[in-house]
Amino acid sequence: MSITIQCPQCRTRFRCKDYLAGKQATCLICHTLLTVPENTVEEEKQELPQPAEIEFKPEATVWDAPWHPPQWESGLVSHNSKVKDSSTATHPLQKTAEIPHQQPDPAACHSPGPGFHSGLLLSIVVISVLILLIFIRLFL
């Protein structure tokens, strides 16, 4: 265990070994002479407050709260999707939305983007410079 002391002049806290109890020490910051007290560890343990009793009522849990169905007409589902037939659906999530089916354009799928040619050109230049440097190092 250790004894905690505080310098009265500079307010620096130090931990001292138990065998230094009752002896004098010097503050490492302001060089004030300090006396290490005898039983500060036992006094600190006695000063600690007792933990408070926690009341736990298992009958007051979240599971006992009444369930309210979500209000789907708040704008999240009804306004964002086009519903085919709302009279046959029993639950808002069971409603089916109309999704237009479009065939993808084959030319658009395989065409390079706008920066493709500049990236290709840059990679060709970098590879050429690396090959040139290797050639110079090997043969010169």
Residue 68 has pLDDT above 70, yes or no: yes
For residue 131, the model assigns a pLDDT of 93
Instruction: State the pLDDT confidence band at 49, using cuts at 50, 70 and 90.
Output: confident
Instruction: Indicate whether this model's pTM tops 0.75.
Output: no
Distance CA 113, CA 108 (A): 9
Distance CA 113, CA 2 (A): 70
HSE, side-chain direction, 13 A CA sphere, residue 76: 6
> Rounded to 5 degrees, what angle do the CA atoms 52, 57, 60 make?
135
DSSP assignment string, 48-82: SPPPPPPP--TTS-GGGSPP----GGGTTSTTTS-
Instruction: State the pLDDT confidence band at 61, using cuts at 50, 70 and 90.
Output: low
For residue 83, the model assigns a pLDDT of 47
For residue 127, the model assigns a pLDDT of 94
Which amino acid is located at 64 in the chain?
D
Domains and their CATH numbers in the chain: 2-45 (2.20.28)
| Residues 13/5, Cβ–Cβ less than 8 Å | yes
For residue 67, the model assigns a pLDDT of 74
